[in-house]
Structure 1
Amino acid sequence: MLSPLCHEDECSALLQFKESLIISESKEIDTLYVELRKPSLGNLVDKLTNLKELVLGDVTISSPIPHNLTYLSSLTTLSLSGCDLRGRIPSSLGNITRLIHLDLSFNKLSDELQTFIGTLGSLKELDLLQNNLSGELPNSIGNLASLEQVDLSLNRFLGKVPSSLGNLTQLHWLSLASNDFSGELPASFGNLRSLRTLDVYECKFSGQIPSSLSNLTHLSFLDFSLNNFSGKMDLDIFLVNHKLLYHLFLSTNRLSLLTKATSNTTSHRFRAVSLCSCDLTEIPKFLKIQHHLELLDLASNKINGKVPKWLLDPIIPFNEGNGIYDYSLTMSNKGQMMSYKKIPDILTAVILSSNRFDGEIPTSISNLKGLKILSLADNSLHGHIPSCLGNLTDLESLDLSNNRFSGQIPQQLVELTFLEFFNVSDNHLTGPIPQGKQFATFDKTSFDGNSGFLFSHSSSSILQLLTSLLPCCRHSAMAMSGLLCCNSKKASRSFVRLLRIIYGIHVIQRQLHGPEEANIDCCSWDGVECNENTGHVIKLDLSNSCLQGFINSSSGLFKLVHLEWLDLAFNYFIGSEIPPEIINLSRLSYLNLSSAGFFGQIPSEILELSNLVSLDLCENL
């Protein structure tokens, strides 16, 4: 039996909706936002008691969390990230025992995390990032045996971390970063054998790093930066036990690293290594075998001698076990086998400042085509600044200050059109300063302390430069366990974190494909699904379609009264308000309008959609 064709009125409604929109890859971001005040979150909870998923990220609520959330006894997902929530987390939340995902990040929640948290036995994800929560963590958090992801960073938690956290053996992601904890890291963390990400950046931990962490053989991301860890640490042994590491940050503690690591003892996977202020006297040898490194920070150590050519010239082949790695490609060209060198563009940041390097900058540095940040400040480098730096066309920051460079600033550097920070202060440079393009934006502090220049001023620091390079998106350690939205509010908390990964955005283009004639079956159109018995349109999925336009009360969308599923996420509807005509879609069980450019008040009519099981209005403008 053939399925019925779609209904003519629904086909016409879809075409009307289509004609009101355009397809575009770009988005103009306005300072608009969505509010939930009248009705309030409490009103919504009173009405939509069948909800299993409630996602209101970045919807402005500006109130405490209502106690009547317990009415949503079937709730498995609650996401109220960035909603301007105030006050305490109510203990009544502990009654929603089916919760699997709880996200209250980026709010103004305060006071202690109460012991009720231990009653949420089904919880797999707990995100309390960036609130004003304080006090000690309750021991009861160790009862959440199903937890896989925990983010408690950017709060004001204090005291010792309870050893009961070691009971969470399913954890693969744990961040305690930027809190006021004290004491040693619990040895029980060695029980977290499934852990892939451990972030305790800026937590005021002290003492030695527990030897039990050698059990965490699945770790791929580790950040111990900006604590008070002390003592000698054998980096060789540590790396042997953690061969899956991609990111290693041990900077700015009181550690003394011992290392003679060779190619066959460590991971070859590193993308970011930060060993700033680790009392190193030589460049760790394991770095020589890293083919995917994007960030390297060895600042503020005691490394002396010349900058090794292999560090700044990855084209140079080197022995790797019994083989050779040489970045080359062999192929046939007009009947002859030819070998072509591959120019690597992976390394994006090299920070070797505040060491004891001498000699000249190797001209082979021009092979690092992807370099965005280069800091060689506060060393004893000399000679001329190589003109080949002008070939690093992606460079955004160049700091060569406080060395012994002489001669002129190469005119070729004018071609670095992305350069936002430039500092050659406190050298022995002479001659004219290049003019034009980015050089017109640099003030006198960039050239201070050079005898051949006409002006002088106090020098600026690399920290000032890096704060000017804030990326729009934060690399969340959660990404180690899957792909997540890049949220500008989740910006990194130090320049080391700013430089971890430099990302691009891939735009997925989809269109609402449909014929021009209204009498052709719309059930076959992309993103449209019809009931196989009645022919009514029951599902419309236009997410990630690069759509722009204005949705008003007369939109054909609201004539599709049989819709059960509507997904318009990740489009841009030019600051449209959600029309009250949404009430016409009374059969909806799934509604996703996230990241779609809506603004204004959420209409009270949405409370009448009593069949809703999943509601997602997050990250609008």
Structure 2
Amino acid sequence: MAGEYKRIPGILTVNDLSSNKFSGEIPESIGNPNGLQALNLSNNALTEGRDCCSWHGVECDRESGHVIGLHLASSHLYGSINCSSTLFSLVHLRRLDLSDNDFNYSRIPHGVGQLSRLRSLNLSNSQFSGQIPSKLLALSKLVSLDLSSNPTLQLQKPDLRNLVQNLIHLKELHLSQVNISSTVPVILANLSSLRSLSLENCGLHGEFPMGIFKLPSLELLDLMSNRYLTGHLPEFHNASHLKYLDLYWTSFSGQLPASIGFLSSLKELDICSCNFSGMVPTALGNLTQLTHLDLSSNSFKGQLTSSLTNLIHLNFLDISRNDFSVGTLSWIIVKLTKFTALNLEKTNLIGEILPSLSNLTGLTYLNLEYNQLTGRIPPCLGNLTLLKTLGLGYNNLEGPIPSSIFELMNLDTLILRANKLSGTVELNMLVKLKNLHKLGLSHNDLSLLTNNSLNGSLPRLRLLGLASCNLSEFPHFLRNQDELKFLTLSDNKIHGQIPKWMWNMGKETLWVMDLSNNLLTCFEQAPVVLPWITLRVLELSYNQLQGSLPVPPSSISDYFVHNNRLNGKFPSLICSLHHLHILDLSNNNLSGMIPQCLSDSSDSLSVLNLRGNNFHGSIPQTFTSQCRLKMIDFSYNQLEGQIPRSLGNCKELEILNLGNNQINDTFPFWLGSFPELQLLILRHNRFHGAIENPRANFEFPTLCIIDLSYNNFAGNLPAGYFLTWVAMSRVDEENFSYMQSMTGFVLIRTYRLYENYNYSMTMTNKGMERVYPKIPRSFKAIDLSSNKFIGEIPKSIGKLRGLHLLNISSNSLTGHIPSFLGNLAQLEALDLSQNNLSGEIPQQLKGMTFLEFFNVSHNHLMGPIPQGKQFNTFQNDSYEGNPGLCGNPLSKECENSKSTAPPPPTDKHGGDLESGRKVELMIVLMGYGSGLVVGMAIGYTLTTRKHEWFVKTFGKRQRKC
């Protein structure tokens, strides 16, 4: 029968609607796994019988009966639209809405270009993919176009410029999450009718055209999540109709203009995670229609303007992670009483939590983390009965947790970590919190009682932080926690085995587990591969684990098992972990050879730390061309052979530490082209040969620390490299930070479980071998000690003005200690001992006011030791083995010690001038620190120039003394 259809639950198959009249309603659930025959409609079929206009989703013109609209949003459509579909015969169609369906990643059909009368097209969130067809640009009457939330859809050929050039009548343009990957064309500012523009997460870059902000009808502008899109806010005018402005996670910068106060219609302003700076203008208080204000994670500073109290309709305020001086909460609480969300994290809040905060009874979100709040948690917070998130971590709160907090039935997230809270927490306190999913109690003085009987069932947790909660065993209630994603039990006293029942805890959900800093010895009935199939981070470090290395699941990203007692060989299964980002097995008893397959994983690994084991043999030879390693630490093993030349593929390398092995090679000059290499440690190996001059002018440009000590390097000190190590010539004045690899997980906006992975090293400083668990980025150090270097100290070393440590002891250096070492004003440790240096210690070294360690022992130095400033702090052992030295702290006094300087001679115009021979002798003696030849030359010059230079130089020096 023509027009027959078969009704199957959720499915409608239309066989033929081209020449028949039908009435009735198209089921709300329309679809067909074999294609969208449900859309195989013709205009004639629908207009011959007007009853079809009553079908669900069909809109007809009342006079002509033509189908002018299809509204099939959220209709469970599935499949693809064939280009021959009679849908494209509906030439009178003005509105087509197929949003929120599943077109199975098919392409937008070219036939859409035939619908020339379309004014509104909505294909959002419908799983379309591929390039947007150029035929769509023929729809010149379009007023509204929404292709958003189709992340596999592309607008590149044609591109955004082509679209804007053709669709000049647009009032609404929504392309969020469409792959555009281009700049924003300036001609977009010509769309004078544009009211709504949404370009969220489109891969936009370059400078955003400022003229778009001034479009006369613009009400919504959404540019969020385009990290490489730059721009500035313009000077606004009072005719603006802007209501919603979202620049979240872009690179907009500059200051907020005072003219922002003209945006009197603005309801939402979100500039979170941009690069704005300066003071927040008072005029922001003029935006009295604001309901949502997010200024978080910028560089705003100063006192927050009190004019914000004018924003009486504000229900969402986030000013966290800036450099504000908020002070107390009182000014916010008094007038702004409509809050549903308040985020004041890291805003320099001081004092106690005000009890009046409990008057904000509409609050569902409250975050006061990372401040300097003191005192107790007020029990009246229990009045906030709608509260879903409470974050008070990283403050100085003390006392017990009020029982009223455990009466907040709607709580989803409770984060109290890193305070000074005390007392006990019983499991029964959690029974009432049926909606609790995230609980963070770590790093307080709390004790969790886990062995008491329960009066009900505990909530199903997804995040649980119990670090440093005085636990001595695994809490038994974890047996039933099968939805956990994040678990930290670190810094407790949990001892013995990891029980086998843990295998089923979060087996299919767990992302992060941290058991570090306990007394764990082994896994009970350990499987070959740990069973948590979604695990990304596993922290087992600082325990007493024995036996072979546990192999994590294939999902693992960060694996920390350092500082244990593991032994045996390196499991080859580790090489099959293709998502592995950080692998730290340091300070165990692992042995055997490092498997060659590990270097094949260098295309995913960022950190590889095998320090302090018993590995022998050669370093793996096949680092791939896609190597992404940033840090390699193979120190304190028994590795032999050469540094593999394939390591040259690892251009992102920042840290290379091969110290304390048996590597036999020459200096790896070929690492000089690495643009990010900051630390190179080759100490205690068998490196040999001369270090030749660099082959380019910019080798090792970012190197801050180099340690070549205890090798067999020979020849002169590497004077050429001292000129190319430009990072050491800079005096860093930036904010203090450590060398680290970016990692970690932000679990919720108020909880960060993992910080970055800090690089570490061992280095001799101030005469002692010192472990650096963290390496300051500003630390600059050179250790070339205990080699076979010869010759004089080169002048180029005086260029390295940022140096903090210089150790060239235990070599065969000759000549004088050069006075230009006094230029190294940042130097804290200078070790020149155990060489063949001669002459005096230059007086210019007294200018090194940061110098804490100075050792010139066992040389051939003579003359007076500089006195005053830092030199008054050095003891005898800094100078021993130099019989020619005199003065404090040595017992040997210098001749003429009572005379601080010779009297200044005068020329023929100044009167009494001693004989030329006497003056020549004096200058020769003063020049002795620079060598006999230099002294003679100065004496000769002085005689021939009638002593003018001597009077100018040494006359002034005497007056200064």
TM normalised by structure 2 equals 0.42
Please tell me the residue identity of whatever aligns with 2:244.
E
Note if 1:424 corresponds to 2:683.
Answer: no
Q: Could you list the per-position Cα deviations for residues 213-259 of structure 1 after superposition, in whole angstroms to 9, with x for gaps in the alignment?
A: 12322111121122222x22223133123232111111122222222
Q: Could you list the per-position Cα deviations for residues 55-81 of structure 1 after superposition, in whole angstroms to 9, with x for gaps in the alignment?
A: 344566644434444433333223333
Deviates more, 1:50-59 or 1:365-374: 50-59
Task: Return the offset for 1:148.
Answer: 0.6
- Which is bigger in relative contact order (C-alpha 8 A, separation at least 6)? 1
Alignment partner, residue 15 of structure 1: 138
**Residues in 1 aligned to 2:116 and 2:139: alpha-carbon distance in whole angstroms:** 12
Note if 1:125 corresponds to 2:316.
Answer: yes
1:410 to 559, 571, 577: 571
Give 1 or 2 for the bigger CA radius of gyration: 2
Alignment partner, residue 151 of structure 1: 343
Deviates more, 1:194-203 or 1:291-300: 194-203
Task: Return the offset for 1:16.
Answer: 7.1
Aligned length: 447
2:516 to 321, 333, 353: 353
Residues 360, 384 of structure 1: 8 Å contact kept? no
Residues 408, 432 of structure 1: 8 Å contact kept? yes
Residues 406, 430 of structure 2: 8 Å contact kept? no
SS at match of 1:412: helix
Q: Judging changes above 3 Å, is the alpha-carbon distance between structure 1 residues 9 and 119 closer, same or farther for their aligned structure 2 residues?
A: closer
Alignment partner, residue 211 of structure 1: 403
SS at match of 2:530: helix
Alignment partner, residue 539 of structure 2: 375
Note if 1:240 corresponds to 2:431.
Answer: yes
Task: Return the offset for 1:184.
Answer: 2.6
Task: Return the offset for 1:422.
Answer: 2.0
Deviates more, 1:436-445 or 1:196-205: 436-445
SS at match of 2:431: helix
1:174 to 343, 354, 366: 366
Please tell me the residue identity of whatever aligns with 1:416.
L
Q: Judging changes above 3 Å, is the alpha-carbon distance between structure 1 residues 383 and 176 closer, same or farther for their aligned structure 2 residues?
A: same
Identity of aligned pairs, percent? 29
Deviates more, 1:99-108 or 1:123-132: 99-108
Q: Judging changes above 3 Å, is the alpha-carbon distance between structure 1 residues 58 and 382 closer, same or farther for their aligned structure 2 residues?
A: closer
Residues 300, 354 of structure 1: 8 Å contact kept? yes
1:97-108 pair list within 5 angstroms: 97-108=288-299
**Residues in 1 aligned to 2:572 and 2:273: alpha-carbon distance in whole angstroms:** 47
Q: Could you list the per-position Cα deviations for residues 446-495 of structure 1 after superposition, in whole angstroms to 9, with x for gaps in the alignment?
A: 333334646743999xxx99954346xx45449xxxxxxxxxxxxx7551
Residues 542, 562 of structure 2: 8 Å contact kept? yes
1:575-586 pair list within 5 angstroms: none
Q: Judging changes above 3 Å, is the alpha-carbon distance between structure 1 residues 297 and 494 closer, same or farther for their aligned structure 2 residues?
A: closer
**Residues in 1 aligned to 2:615 and 2:454: alpha-carbon distance in whole angstroms:** 46
Residues 356, 379 of structure 1: 8 Å contact kept? yes
Residues 742, 756 of structure 2: 8 Å contact kept? no
Please tell me the residue identity of whatever aligns with 1:199.
G
Residues 586, 613 of structure 2: 8 Å contact kept? yes
1:136-535 pair list within 5 angstroms: 136-142=327-333, 143-229=335-421, 231-260=422-451, 265-314=456-505, 344-360=507-523, 362-364=525-527, 366-386=530-550, 389=551, 392-437=553-598, 441=602, 446-451=609-614, 453=616, 456-457=635-636, 468-470=742-744, 474-477=746-749, 495=754
Q: Could you list the per-position Cα deviations for residues 572-607 of structure 1 after superposition, in whole angstroms to 9, with x for gaps in the alignment?
A: xxxxxxxxxxxxxxxxxxxxxxxxxxxxxxxxxxxx
SS at match of 1:94: helix
Q: Could you list the per-position Cα deviations for residues 479-531 of structure 1 after superposition, in whole angstroms to 9, with x for gaps in the alignment?
A: xxxxxxxxxxxxx7551799xxxxxxxxxxxxxxxxxxxxxxxxxxxxxxxxx
**Residues in 1 aligned to 2:598 and 2:287: alpha-carbon distance in whole angstroms:** 59
SS at match of 2:583: strand
**Residues in 2 aligned to 1:194 and 1:467: alpha-carbon distance in whole angstroms:** 40
SS at match of 1:350: strand
**Residues in 1 aligned to 2:511 and 2:180: alpha-carbon distance in whole angstroms:** 27
Task: Return the offset for 1:356.
Answer: 1.3
Q: Judging changes above 3 Å, is the alpha-carbon distance between structure 1 residues 294 and 163 closer, same or farther for their aligned structure 2 residues?
A: same
TM normalised by structure 1 equals 0.63
SS at match of 1:130: coil
Task: Return the offset for 1:105.
Answer: 2.1
Alignment partner, residue 208 of structure 2: 34
Q: Judging changes above 3 Å, is the alpha-carbon distance between structure 1 residues 107 and 413 closer, same or farther for their aligned structure 2 residues?
A: closer
Alignment partner, residue 221 of structure 2: none
Gapped regions of structure 2 (runs ≥ 5): 1-62, 69-91, 95-114, 120-134, 141-154, 161-174, 182-202, 215-231, 618-633, 638-656, 659-737, 758-961
**Residues in 1 aligned to 2:567 and 2:247: alpha-carbon distance in whole angstroms:** 58
Q: Judging changes above 3 Å, is the alpha-carbon distance between structure 1 residues 447 and 20 closer, same or farther for their aligned structure 2 residues?
A: closer
Task: Return the offset for 1:287.
Answer: 1.2
Q: Judging changes above 3 Å, is the alpha-carbon distance between structure 1 residues 168 and 374 closer, same or farther for their aligned structure 2 residues?
A: same
Task: Return the offset for 1:354.
Answer: 1.1
Deviates more, 1:118-127 or 1:245-254: 118-127
Task: Return the offset for 1:300.
Answer: 0.9
**Residues in 2 aligned to 1:20 and 1:445: alpha-carbon distance in whole angstroms:** 44
SS at match of 2:418: coil
Q: Judging changes above 3 Å, is the alpha-carbon distance between structure 1 residues 59 and 370 closer, same or farther for their aligned structure 2 residues?
A: closer
**Residues in 2 aligned to 1:465 and 1:436: alpha-carbon distance in whole angstroms:** 28
**Residues in 1 aligned to 2:297 and 2:290: alpha-carbon distance in whole angstroms:** 20
Q: Judging changes above 3 Å, is the alpha-carbon distance between structure 1 residues 112 and 188 closer, same or farther for their aligned structure 2 residues?
A: farther
Gapped regions of structure 1 (runs ≥ 5): 316-343, 479-491, 499-621
Q: Could you list the per-position Cα deviations for residues 276-330 of structure 1 after superposition, in whole angstroms to 9, with x for gaps in the alignment?
A: 1111112122211111111111011011121111112459xxxxxxxxxxxxxxx
SS at match of 1:164: helix
**Residues in 2 aligned to 1:438 and 1:420: alpha-carbon distance in whole angstroms:** 13
Residues 133, 157 of structure 1: 8 Å contact kept? no
1:48-127 pair list within 5 angstroms: 48=240, 50-57=241-248, 62-127=253-318
Alignment partner, residue 325 of structure 1: none
Residues 62, 84 of structure 1: 8 Å contact kept? yes
Q: Could you list the per-position Cα deviations for residues 516-573 of structure 1 after superposition, in whole angstroms to 9, with x for gaps in the alignment?
A: xxxxxxxxxxxxxxxxxxxxxxxxxxxxxxxxxxxxxxxxxxxxxxxxxxxxxxxxxx
Residues 479, 504 of structure 2: 8 Å contact kept? no
**Residues in 2 aligned to 1:240 and 1:276: alpha-carbon distance in whole angstroms:** 21
Task: Return the offset for 1:31.
Answer: 5.5
Please tell me the residue identity of whatever aligns with 2:509.
I
Please tell me the residue identity of whatever aligns with 2:513.
V
Residues 397, 465 of structure 1: 8 Å contact kept? no
Please tell me the residue identity of whatever aligns with 2:359.
N
- RMSD of equivalent CA atoms: 3.7
SS at match of 1:276: coil
